[in-house]
Structure 1
Amino acid sequence: MVDALKLRVLEVQFFQLPMAFKKPFRFGAYSLSECPQVFTRVVVQAGECVGEGFSAELAVPRWFDKRPHLSAERNVDDLFAALFAARNGYLTADGARTVFELHNIVNSTVLQDAPTLPALVRSFGQAQIEKALIDAVCRLASTSFAQATRANLWGIGFSEACAPDLLGVDASAVLQSLVPRDKMWLRHTVGFPVSRDGSAEPSALSELASAVRDQGLRFLKIKLSGSPDADARRVEEICAQFAPAELPFFSLDGNEQYAGVEGLHNLCAQLSRIPALKGERLGKKCLFLEQPLPREKALDATVRLGDLPMAVAIDESDDEDDAFVRARQRGYRGVSSKACKGVIRSLVNVVRCLHANRGDSLKCFVTPEDLCTQPGWALQQDLSLAALTGASHAEKNGHQYVASFAGLSDGITSKFMEAHADLYGMTDSSARLRVAEGRLSASSINRCAGFGTLVVPELDRMAEVHELEVR
């Protein structure tokens, strides 16, 4: 067994690129047309070796913090402030530490330094540096993320102070059992079509049917509005586009739009009356319902979801390392994996599910979801993580809303196209995510050294993010 690498974090820098969407991305009650993509660079020392690591992620307003009185600009400022609160924790950590030790240290220091920021906002700040550290470890060790995780180079382990629900579980043995998937089914996001000014447009059901046919899609993710009547009608309209034998599997995304559990029972009752979903077909075709309740209520002691006829997963409520433990007590069975919330958090949840599901039971699951990750570093790091979760399908939607490799030079685009020709292809003279028979290839990212890629971003072409104080 290879020892986990111990690091000293020497430098942390942040840069940004403005990203204009080619069409608005609607989640919940908000439509997003632009936001910055944040790039993180770290310099670390491991023994006598010094190396760099990189990460990228959209700083999406109105998702990490949906409080209506805050502007989108304030949301982005808070995400930037969270970056620097986390940076302080990493730079002041004593001695050489493993990635997992640093994760736990910074969890505490960020809470102390930024107590007014919502937990999910704090998670974003820490996650960007954590991803760059993981990339630095992979580059220093000349190994892939999958290989580094299976060797537990992160030093993940459990104690009374950290994941006490897993006390006695051998994290290294569980991680060593993970087998990365080289092919993952793409779960295609079916959003609410909106115009540039945010108003509703006519249904694009015919476009959806064409996409399913042309790309060989077998999995969908259907966005919901919070109205059982309207949502059931929408699902029925989508189902009507396909012959019964050709209906894709689908998940439902509540985006915190349902006020309470009663509405979920109403929704399930109406879905069960849809001709294409009657009888056992609802349970077979509908994979799970994602984050239907607002994060402020979702984990209340009064919430009981065990008697719903479909599995329910948390997403926005996964804002702390023990959130899934608390969610399972309320009847939730699933938890999303998003690198923007933290890689270590997702890996620990994978261990939780494998431990709970030993034998033939399927008590809980990790589901890879997407927050508009962009081709390049963000998408490939997130897909590298998704390939190790045990899931066979993953949502990916960034390619639907932003032009591929937007803001990056032709030289950088060419490097990605050459190094990851299995993942990208040319369509209409433009670089695009390659969807082949409904699947994405993770083969090259599972095997390359570095976290998803060895391509280095051109930071000198970007604006540096300067420190913002926590408000």
Structure 2
Amino acid sequence: MPYHLESVDLMIRQMPPDRMSFAIGGVAPKRRPRAIVVIRVQVADDRGKSSWGVAADRPSFGWLDKRKSHSPDEMLTRLFELVRASRKIYMREAKFESPFALWANCWPQIMQVAKQMDHESLSASFASALLERAVIDAVCRLSDLTLFESIQRKKLGFSPQQIHPMLGDFPWRRFLPERPRTRFHIRHTVGLTDPIDSTDLKRDRRVNDGEPETLQEYVRRDGLRYFKVKISGDPVRDLARLGKIWGQLVRINEPIVTLDGNESYRDIDKFAKFVETFEREQLGMYQHTLFIEQPLTRAVTLDPSTQKTIRQISERKPLVIDEADGTTNSFSRAFKIGYNGVSHKNCKGFFKSLANFCLCAFFNEQGKAAFQTGEDLSNMPLVAIQQDFTALGLLKIDHCERNGHHYGFGLSHLSAAEKEQALQIHGDLYIKRGNEAFLNIRGGQIECRSLQTAGFGVAFEPAWDQLVPLDDWEYTW
């Protein structure tokens, strides 16, 4: 069915200060503003019907591009310039047959513009993904279908063979779930400076806002079993910290751990030695670790000369790419080198993640182990986190990293009306504690059946009057 993209609005939702600092490897502390970038589209079909669509993400420029050639203000300005350029491309291609056809037409143009502007491919993926998801949301709503139903009924035009010709006539639809997953284990992020227990947090440094502040407190309150632990690239420091963290996790029934390097290693031999030492000195945590995510810089990750060492490491622990997943062929390249996994993040592109899902099924059918993981870019309610859970339900991923909910104070960035609607419509996903609404984590899990609604997981319109046009927003750090 022909569609027409009538308008694209770029807006900002101002965020309050984080309640706790969040440190990751290889990234400067000033890596994102106090803001969520929101895109609103209006899409019409050939029947004369029209609908809004929305997407949102934290503009975490310091994660997208870790080069030190620009100041934080310049990095943010450059990222917004790329988002604006991507908007122009989408508006220029306003008539389209399906969301996938529009994405397939615009994606290479955005990549080309990003290259001309000296952006990392990951930044191009971020800009493209915002527009892609907003259009998908609008088209699903026009059809009165959920995301899952839209894929099942071929309403989005998705064709993974167009991205990965190697799939040929592979019957990828056979590997979709019979119904979308709506319950997920939360993999709690443990940042580099997060307090582990009360000995790490002096009384005068406590926030005292009624929410947990140490890992120990979160485990007790939320019943967590899954954890994502950040490592810094300093083996001595990391191993000592891992030992202290394991002192808390060992008390849990069947704890599950993943490590995330955030590109903190530039030397592959140094990383290989870390893995060996990790097994020798922290055997308990090592045996409970599922995989190690993005330990090396993105350039080293995709260097074919590392294949021998990467395969040796992967035999000990599976390796996953994240920041290195900037283009549609990044995972297929990494897989040849020896990486088994690739992260899903909506901010890198939904269609790319769905294509990687098909690629994993294809490799697994050949007897080659491949998998996707669910990771997080500090997804916040309402739009970003709900769309990410909705995508995960289609990708058959049963546990996912979540961190925005504990570095930020619940839904405090939303209007009173939005919070009231969220609690009423998504009573499974959110809960009220005191005067604020929060993610409803029980037994370490989230239930979100209510997200199976027309559109891409967004049941009601955000309070547009609470947002600021991007061109009018003054940077707030």
- For residues 409-447 of structure 1, the C-alpha deviation after alignment (integer angstroms, 9 at most, x for no partner) is 1001111111100000012331010101000112111x2
Matched, 1:73 2:73: yes
Name 1:259's counterpart in structure 2: 266
Q: Offset at 1:294?
A: 0.8
Q: Among the aligned pairs, what percent are the same residue?
A: 30
Q: Offset at 1:120?
A: 1.0
Verify the 8 A CA contact 1:183 1:441 in the aligned structure 2.
Answer: yes
Name 1:375's counterpart in structure 2: 381
Alignment of 1:393-408 (within 5 A): 393-408=399-414
Name 1:84's counterpart in structure 2: 84
Name 1:113's counterpart in structure 2: 113
Matched, 1:428 2:434: yes
Task: Rate the CA distance shift 1:128–1:190 in 2: closer, same or farther, 3 A.
Answer: same
User: How large is the Cα RMSD of the aligned pairs?
Assistant: 2.5
Equivalent residue of 1:189, what SS?
strand
Name 1:438's counterpart in structure 2: 444
Q: Distance in 1 between matches of 2:430 and 2:351?
A: 27
Verify the 8 A CA contact 1:256 1:293 in the aligned structure 2.
Answer: yes
Q: Distance in 1 between matches of 2:88 and 2:444?
A: 43
Q: Distance in 1 between matches of 2:304 and 2:282?
A: 36
Task: Rate the CA distance shift 1:214–1:467 in 2: closer, same or farther, 3 A.
Answer: closer
Q: Offset at 1:215?
A: 1.1
Name 2:301's counterpart in structure 1: 298
Alignment of 1:157-176 (within 5 A): 157-159=159-161, 162-175=163-176
Q: Distance in 1 between matches of 2:98 and 2:384?
A: 23
- For residues 326-368 of structure 1, the C-alpha deviation after alignment (integer angstroms, 9 at most, x for no partner) is 0101100111111111111111111111222238x56111101
Q: Distance in 2 between matches of 1:394 and 1:58?
A: 18
- For residues 364-420 of structure 1, the C-alpha deviation after alignment (integer angstroms, 9 at most, x for no partner) is 111010010111111100111122222210001101111222332100111111110
Equivalent residue of 1:272, what SS?
helix
Amino acid at match of 2:54: F
Question: By percentage of residues, which structure has more helix?
Answer: 2
Q: Offset at 1:211?
A: 1.4
Q: Distance in 2 between matches of 1:243 and 1:63?
A: 31
Alignment of 1:13-412 (within 5 A): 13-19=9-15, 20-28=17-25, 29-32=27-30, 34-48=33-47, 49-93=49-93, 95-115=95-115, 116-159=118-161, 162-175=163-176, 177=177, 179-193=179-193, 207-243=214-250, 246=253, 248-274=255-281, 276-277=283-284, 282-283=286-287, 285-304=288-307, 305-308=310-313, 309-358=316-365, 361=367, 363-412=369-418
Q: Offset at 1:245?
A: 6.3
Amino acid at match of 2:376: D
Verify the 8 A CA contact 1:231 1:267 in the aligned structure 2.
Answer: no
Amino acid at match of 1:341: K
Equivalent residue of 2:158, what SS?
coil
Give the stretch that moved more between structures: 20-29 or 55-64: 20-29
Verify the 8 A CA contact 1:81 1:467 in the aligned structure 2.
Answer: no
Q: Distance in 1 between matches of 2:124 and 2:94?
A: 21
Matched, 1:7 2:3: yes
Q: Offset at 1:74?
A: 1.8
Give the stretch that moved more between structures: 457-466 or 329-338: 457-466
Amino acid at match of 1:102: L
| Segments ≥4 residues shifted beyond 3 Å | 170-175, 200-206, 242-247
- For residues 303-332 of structure 1, the C-alpha deviation after alignment (integer angstroms, 9 at most, x for no partner) is 221111100000001100111000101100
Equivalent residue of 2:73, what SS?
helix
Verify the 8 A CA contact 2:411 2:436 in the aligned structure 1.
Answer: no
Q: Offset at 1:75?
A: 2.0
Q: Distance in 2 between matches of 1:381 and 1:450?
A: 9
Q: Distance in 1 between matches of 2:130 and 2:292?
A: 27
Task: Rate the CA distance shift 1:256–1:455 in 2: closer, same or farther, 3 A.
Answer: same
2:465 to 452, 460, 464: 460
TM-score between both structures, scaled by the size of structure 1: 0.90
Q: Distance in 1 between matches of 2:8 and 2:213?
A: 47
Verify the 8 A CA contact 2:54 2:135 in the aligned structure 1.
Answer: yes
Q: Distance in 2 between matches of 1:373 and 1:62?
A: 16
Any unmatched runs of 5+ in structure 2? 207-211
Verify the 8 A CA contact 2:172 2:361 in the aligned structure 1.
Answer: no
Task: Rate the CA distance shift 1:76–1:362 in 2: closer, same or farther, 3 A.
Answer: same
Q: Offset at 1:164?
A: 1.4
Q: Offset at 1:89?
A: 1.9
Verify the 8 A CA contact 2:194 2:214 in the aligned structure 1.
Answer: no
Q: Distance in 2 between matches of 1:163 and 1:313?
A: 19
Verify the 8 A CA contact 2:225 2:252 in the aligned structure 1.
Answer: no
Equivalent residue of 1:241, what SS?
helix
Task: Rate the CA distance shift 1:173–1:259 in 2: closer, same or farther, 3 A.
Answer: same
Q: Offset at 1:179?
A: 3.5
Q: Distance in 1 between matches of 2:394 and 2:351?
A: 12
Give the stretch that moved more between structures: 448-457 or 148-157: 148-157
Equivalent residue of 1:9, what SS?
strand
Verify the 8 A CA contact 2:183 2:448 in the aligned structure 1.
Answer: yes
Give the stretch that moved more between structures: 211-220 or 77-86: 77-86
Q: Offset at 1:460?
A: 2.4
Q: Offset at 1:14?
A: 0.6
Equivalent residue of 2:471, what SS?
coil
Q: Offset at 1:36?
A: 1.7
Q: Distance in 2 between matches of 1:453 and 1:424?
A: 14
